[in-house]
Every structure is written in structure tokens, then in C-alpha cells.
Amino acid sequence: MDTVILLTLTGLGLAALYFLVASGLSLVFGLADVLNFAHGVFLGVGAYGTWWAAHNLPGAGSDGFGFVLAVVFGVAAGTLVAVLVELVLIRPLYSRTIEQVLVTVGLSLAGVALLQATWGADARPFPRPEWTRQVTGILGANVPNGGLLLIIAAVLVLGAILAFLRWTRYGLIIRAGVENREMVTALGIDVRKAFTLVFAIGGAAAALAGALGGVYFGTVSPGQGGSLLIFAFIVVVIGGMGSVIGSAYAAVAVGLTQQFVNYYGTSGLGDICVVALLAVVLLLRPQGIAGKVATA
Amino acid sequence: MEPILSVENLSVRIAGLHILQGVSFTVAPTGVTVLLGRNGVGKTTTLRAIVGLTPPAGEVRGTVRMGAQSLLARPTHRLVRGGLGYVPEDRCVFAGLTVAENLRLAERRGSTPAYDKVFALFPELDRRGRQRAGSLSGGQQQMLAIGRVLLNDNRLLLVDEPTKGLAPKVVTEVAEVLERVAESVPVLLVEQNLAVVRRLARDAVVLAAGRVAWTGDAQELLLETALTKSLLGVGSAEGHHPAGTPAGARKDQH
């Protein structure tokens, strides 16, 4: 029983990581029709930004408020990079899908290369509070605190995004834009501002995933964003392009599937099962769990 | 009277198809001007070009002016904020949003939304504020689409086939509303239902194969059964309520 609880909670931790990456990816695609292959760069910037700040930023560190400050710095850096990418590289290419894909794929490769050139290709130990290295006993299972932190963060981010979409004017614009971007424009709204905003939200969530992923894995490496992005894309497709709630459900399905199958089957079989799950969803419900809606 | 809208030599090419080939016409500053023509002649393309919604891959040439202002180079949201209201074909309400949210989205910064006016015209929208727009009937969705535009002051309304697919009773309701709306703001209307055209339109522009085939008095056009049949493929007396006093048709342009 305690094994099942442990697998469930570590699976949910992994799901939380996928959700943080996929939520922004999904909103960006749902609203702006941009398949952002450079989304992993935002995660990398968030992770390295946190790592750098913990060592170099006055007041920041690996514990207590210092760690919070380091994470805030990493998230701010990831958000800034996401906004710049949208304004400088993506905005001139809206409605030019092939060029967008080429630019974002190129940027993802260049971003990893830049991180490698600056801080080396090897994984580096991530500065993290001592309590995140410890475990908490839950119903007989010793669950890593780093995973619990990820779950709490993902739930808070999910609540914040849903509240933003539900209660703010820009949230309303994004929900409407996911349904019919052209009609939003025809109501006199400059939808490009909403594009920048979803890039900022997506960048912030991905950067947070980078920072907390560093805590979860204990290390940070330049290629981390790219490998997580593959599963985030699977989550987005299964959840439904543009649906934050759908991404949450899909992330849980993917995280739990990977964790349980890898444990009870052979290592790596979980990844194959996730791809099989994607194929089943595409065959039976191509629009994903939630279809193209920005909320539930 | 100076026209509120003048379209000169408007050409639109999309995906290699030359849909509009030098269309020119004007819209009077009062009343309803109707844009007529068979299916596929470019009526919707004309409205979408005016409001800046031609697909990015499309090519638009010519001149479109609202008053002294040139429209073609400006982005859609600025045109709409400048008083060009657009009610698209097939309503395009946001199905996942509630009726109230659809209306709230249409509010423009810097102006007071005229909810009283909209709810006076469409009391149903007030009662169904919390209902998802996707669950409304076709007629209710059309009312929402028109109500959304009427929340704001407009200098000109572009309305694309507002009665398409609606039950006869709802068609009458929509026509009544447009009639009242047109008392205060000019309307450029695309409409296939000749009974509605007869009720609302003062001027008519008929398109054929991407060009203007006829302009003039709408009521006179509808009296000319042979002309109506040749231009629109349907006689004005065939299944559509015939007009009243014959006055003859005027053929201004080919």
C-alpha cells in the first residue's frame, strides 16, 4: 500500500512538472497558433537563473528567504526572455507557421548551446533548501519533499491561471481568443497584447518548472528543458490545445502512467505507454480531453 | 449628402483566386444599403476587406474611405474602435463564454457601454446573462452578435447575412431590430432574403463575378423581376413578398 502511495505522489510530482511546462505551451498554441519549440529555453533560463542567483545575487541563497529570492529571480529571467522572444522573433511571423517552427526550433538549439557555452555541458548540483532533500511520511510512505513542493506549486499555478482567466479582462480576451481570435479583433481588441501576455505567463510557469525541477532532480543541466518539453507536448495534445484544465488532467495521466509502469514493468516502458496513450487519444478524441477551450 | 463609406476599385486576390476585381460603390450616411449577389460573388469578401479581415495570404488593392479616413492600411481593432461595427456571417459568438461575458468583451475602453439600449432591443440577453452562448438558439446567438456591436457608438455597421438559417419568426424579429438600428446608424447589409431586403434597404449594390453589376434604388430593383432574376438568380416575386407600387428600376452601372 505504501508503495502505491509513494508511486502516486511521485507520479503527481512529475505531473506537476509537466503541467507547469505544458500550461503555457497550451495557452500559447491555443491563442496564438504558435507551436513554441523554444519553450524549453524558458525552463532552462529559469533553472540557471535560480542557480546563478543563489550563488551570486546579494540576499539570495540556497535556503529560506534567500532561496525564494533566487527562484523569483529565475522566474523573472524566464518571463523576460519569453516576452522578448514573442516581441522580437514571433510577432513578425504570426500566420507564417513554417517560419515560426524554424525560428523556435533554431532558438531551442541555440538556447541549449548558449547555456552549455556559458556554464558547461555537465549537470551541476542545484542549490536547494535542506528540507527539500528530506522526506515526509504520508500513510506509511516516505515521500520526497521536493515532489510535494512541485505538487503544491502546480496546484497554486493552476488556481492562479484559472482565476486570471475567469476574473480578469485579459483572461476573458484570452478565453475568447482561443475560440476565435479573429472575432476578438473584430470587437476592437488588440489581440497582440494578449499574445505577449500568454508568452509571459507561459515563460513564468516554465521558469518556475525549471527552478523547482532543479530542486526535484537535485541538478541542473542545459538539456533538461528539451527532454521535459517532449512530454509537455504530449500532455498538451492529450489535454487539448488551449485548455489549461485539460493540460492538468493530461499531466496527471502521463505522470502516473510513467511512474507506475516504470516501477511495475521495466524501466522505460512507462515512456512507451505514454506515447501509446497519446496515440489512443489521437485516434478516439483528436481534439484532446477538453477540446479547444481555455478553461474547464 | 456625402457617403459614409466609399469603396473605389477594390480588388482582392486570395490563394490565386481574383475574388473582387475592381469593385466601386458608396454607402449613404443614413439607412440601409444592401449588398446583393449570387453565392460566391464576393459579398462577404467585400465586407471582410473593408474591416481588414482578409486572410494574411490575401492581397487587397484599391481605396476604402469612411468619411475622410482611409481604412485599408489600418488594423481591424483600430477600425472597429473608430466606429466601424461588424456583425459577421454565422454570428461568431464565443460559445464557451456566457452571454454576459460576450457582451463584456465588446465593451470599448473610454466609452460607456449602452446596455440599456441593447437590453431594450433584446430583453432575452438580459435574462440569459449567465447562459453559455453556445447553448443559445440560432436566433438568440444572432441577437447576441448584433447586441455586442450595439453596445458601442458606431459610425457604420457592416452586417453579414443576419437572417441566414433562422426561423421565419426570428427573421422578422431580426429585421425589426435592424430597421430600428438603421434609424440612428447607417448599415451596409449583405442579405439573401429578399423580403428582408424589401423591408430594410434603400440602396442596393449587386455584385456578379467579383464586379459591381448594378447599383441603384433597392425597391426599384426588386420590382424588376427579370432583372432581379438575371442578377440574383431569383425573381423578386418568386417566394418572396412582391414589392408594392411599381416605380421602375434604374440601371446605373455595369
- φ/ψ of B252, rounded to 5, equals -90, -30
Identify whether A290 is part of a domain.
no
Q: Which three cell numbers stand for residue A2?
A: 505504501
Q: Any residues with CB less than 8 A from the CB of A133 and at least 6 apart, and which?
A: A145, A146, A218
Identify whether A28 is part of a domain.
yes
Report pLDDT for A127.
93
Contact A14, A231 (CB under 8 A): no
Q: What is the CA radius of gyration of chain A?
A: 19
Report pLDDT for A5.
94
pLDDT tens digit at each of 296 positions of chain A: 789 999 999 999 999 999 999 999 999 988 888 889 999 999 999 999 999 999 999 998 888 999 999 999 999 999 999 999 999 999 998 878 899 999 999 999 999 999 999 999 999 999 999 999 999 999 888 999 999 999 999 999 999 999 999 999 999 999 999 899 999 999 999 999 999 999 999 999 999 999 999 999 999 999 888 888 999 999 999 999 888 999 999 999 999 999 999 999 988 899 999 999 999 999 999 888 886 555 54
Identify whether A220 is part of a domain.
yes
Q: Any residues with CB less than 8 A from the CB of B79 and at least 6 apart, and which?
A: B51, B52, B66, B71
Identify whether B242 is part of a domain.
no
C-alpha separations of B230 from A105, A216, B197, B225 in Å? 55, 74, 17, 9
Among A176, A182, A188, beta carbon nearest to B53: A182
Length of chain B, in residues: 254
Give this prediction's pTM: 0.87
Could you list the beta-strand ranges (E) of A135-284.
Answer: 135-138, 141-144, 219-220
Among B101, B108, B148, beta carbon nearest to A172: B101
Q: What CATH number does residue A7 fall under?
A: 1.10.3470
Identify whether A135 is part of a domain.
yes
**Among B154, B156, B155, B189, which residue's Cα sits nearest to residue B175?**
B189
Contacts of B97 in chain A (CB under 8 A): 172, 175-176, 179
Contacts of A296 in chain B (CB under 8 A): none
User: Which residue in A has a C-alpha nearest to residue B102's C-alpha?
Assistant: A176
Contact A250, A235 (CB under 8 A): yes
Identify whether A293 is part of a domain.
no
Give the total number of structural domains in chain B.
1
Buried b (16+ CB within 10 A) or exposed e, B135-157: ebeebbbbbbbbbbbbbbebbbb
User: Which residue in B has a C-alpha nearest to residue A94's C-alpha?
Assistant: B56
Q: In this predicted model, what pLDDT tens digit does every residue of B128-169 receive, in sequence order?
A: 999 999 999 999 999 999 999 999 999 999 999 999 989 999
Identify whether A188 is part of a domain.
yes
Give the total number of structural domains in chain A.
1
Identify whether A59 is part of a domain.
yes
C-alpha separations of B144 from A16, A60, A184, B101 in Å? 39, 53, 14, 11
What is the span of the domain harbouring residue A62? 2-284
**Among B147, B80, B69, which residue's Cα sits nearest to residue B109?**
B80
- Provide the 3-class DSSP secondary structure of residue A31: helix
Contact A182, B53 (CB under 8 A): yes
Identify whether A227 is part of a domain.
yes
Q: What distance in Å separates residue A46's CA from the closest CA in chain B? A: 33
How distant is the alpha carbon of residue A104 from its chain centre?
A: 16
Question: Cβ-count burial of B210 within 10 angstroms (0-12 exposed, 13-18 middle, 19+ buried)?
Answer: buried
Q: Which three cell numbers stand for residue A183?
A: 472575432
Identify whether B254 is part of a domain.
no
CB-based contact A187 B57, cutoff 8 Å: no
Identify whether B237 is part of a domain.
no
Question: Cβ-count burial of B115 within 10 angstroms (0-12 exposed, 13-18 middle, 19+ buried)?
Answer: middle
Contact A9, A151 (CB under 8 A): yes
pLDDT, chain A, mean: 92
CB-based contact B94 A175, cutoff 8 Å: yes
Contact A282, A244 (CB under 8 A): no
Q: What CATH number does residue B54 fall under?
A: 3.40.50.300
Among A95, A187, A295, beta carbon nearest to B105: A187
What is the span of the domain harbouring residue B223? 5-232
Buried b (16+ CB within 10 A) or exposed e, A91-116: eebbeeeeebeebbeebbeebbebbe
Q: Which three cell numbers stand for residue A115?
A: 547555456
